[in-house]
Chain A
Amino acid sequence: MIPKRETDRGVDELLREALGDDLPADVAAGMRERIDGFRAGKTRESDSPRTAGTGAWLFRRTVWAALSILLLVAGILLQGARASSPLADRISAIKTASLSLDQIRR
């Protein structure tokens, strides 16, 4: 426990004396107005463009992440299935030709 300081004690007594009864009506109304204004501001902030921008950024990021995984998986699966391409076909033809040449030499 933090010991209560002498100065704090003095302020407490002063407040107790000054605000012994309920708050005056005009002061209470002013306070309510300020609290409502603060709450309304917080609500507006949650709907602000900044938050909307963060949401859009997260959405874009998720889409990019999904797309990248999709590309990666498609590439791996196609390569695993030995997907044919003109370059692969050409290499295959060269290797077959070199094999035939080797067999002729023997």
Chain B
Amino acid sequence: MNKAGLLYLVFGSVAAALMGFTGREIATAFRLAAGRPGPDDDRRKSAYFWEAAARNAWMLGALGSALNFTIALGSDSGSIGEMAGRMIQSLVVILYGLVLAVVCLIPAMKLADKSGAEAAAASPARRAARAAVSGRILGYVLFAATVALTILFLTGGQPRGGPLSLGRILLHGPAILVVFGGTIALALFAGRGVGARALTLGFAMTGVIALLTGLIQALFGFAHTNIEEISSAVAFIITAAAFALLGLVAVAAPLEDREVMDGRREKAGPFSRLFWVVFPLLTFICLVLTFIMVVTPMTKPAG
């Protein structure tokens, strides 16, 4: 059992909820999920809250796996077998995320079913509920603290020889440049009218492109039997996946949540929903491929 991963997921989900929703909206969602009666508009918004909670759990699971995987790779302790064991254990975090997502989807489906028939006839006069700034700041602080404490907990018991500080391991410069540059470019291209969906599109698409680029470069590395090329590509994949997920969880998703809860949009965009499901899955597949690439011995062709 990965206790650090489990605690990270629980506290990370609470923080992500606070980043996108007000305390009152969260309390209403819990009250309605417990079977209390409520107006149809509240039911619709509560169903959206539970759907967002499921999405956050799934994406946080993938992000936790990527961070944990990086820490396992960077640790100097133990043999290759022990390190491989830690890398596999890091993938368990996404499994926890999936379980928590399923748990959150149940109230989402129940509330959506009950309010579905009248949702279309919902009053157009939507309440323009503004998120309390203090609540959002609390969410971001809690999220940062959760990630930082999880990393410290994971690295605390491991001796770290040489110049490998934590910050240097987690930061592969080219991947960060590509993710942020690509996201800003795509968001600008999408324009103002698209709103927060532009950021979701930006982070997810840049992440997908970075993952594919890294995979192709790694395959070239195998073809050229060049360990440096493979290592650079693997570092690119892991860092790009982690930063794209971080952008989706901490920037794009809370902004889209606010658009829906303030009544500026009826629901999240179909492409955003697709990216929220597919990108963490792609990250997981790439982490597995990365693991195989790292632990597979490479032999130089004879002659």
Contacts and interface: CB of A to CB of B under 8 A. Distances in A.
B181 to A, nearest CB: 3
B129 interface: no
Interface stretch (A10-18, A23-31, A40-48, A59-67): A59-67
A91 B235 contact: yes
B184 A71 contact: yes
A82 B239 CA distance: 15
A85 B168 contact: yes
Interface residues of A, number: 34
A10 to B, nearest CB: 48
B143 to A, nearest CB: 23
Given A74-B177, A83-B173, A68 B184 contact: yes
A92 B231 CA distance: 5
The 7 tightest CB contacts between A and B, nearest first, are A71-B181, A75-B177, A72-B181, A75-B178, A68-B184, A102-B297, A79-B174
A49 interface: no
A87 interface: yes
24 contacts: A64-B188, A67-B181, A72-B177, A75-B175, A75-B176, A75-B179, A79-B178, A83-B173, A84-B232, A86-B165, A87-B74, A87-B169, A87-B239, A88-B172, A88-B231, A88-B234, A90-B231, A94-B295, A95-B231, A95-B297, A96-B227, A98-B295, A98-B296, A99-B297
B169 A86 contact: yes
Contacts of A82: 228-229, 232
Given A85-B171, A86-B74, A99-B298, A91 B231 contact: yes
Given A68-B182, A92-B227, 12 more contacts: A61-B188, A69-B181, A70-B181, A75-B175, A78-B173, A79-B217, A92-B228, A92-B230, A95-B227, A95-B231, A95-B297, A98-B294
B185 interface: yes
B297 A79 contact: no
A31 to B, nearest CB: 42
A72 to B, nearest CB: 4
B236 interface: yes
B173 A85 contact: yes
A2 interface: no
A101 B73 CA distance: 18
Nearest to A100: B297
Contacts of A85: 168, 171-173, 232, 235
Given A76-B174, A99-B299, A87 B70 contact: yes
Contacts of B185: 65, 68-69, 72
B164 interface: yes
Contacts of B239: 87
Nearest to B214: A79
Contacts of B165: 86
A87 B239 CA distance: 9
Interface in B215-250: 217, 227-232, 234-236, 238-239
Contacts of A91: 73, 230-231, 234-235, 294
B268 to A, nearest CB: 25
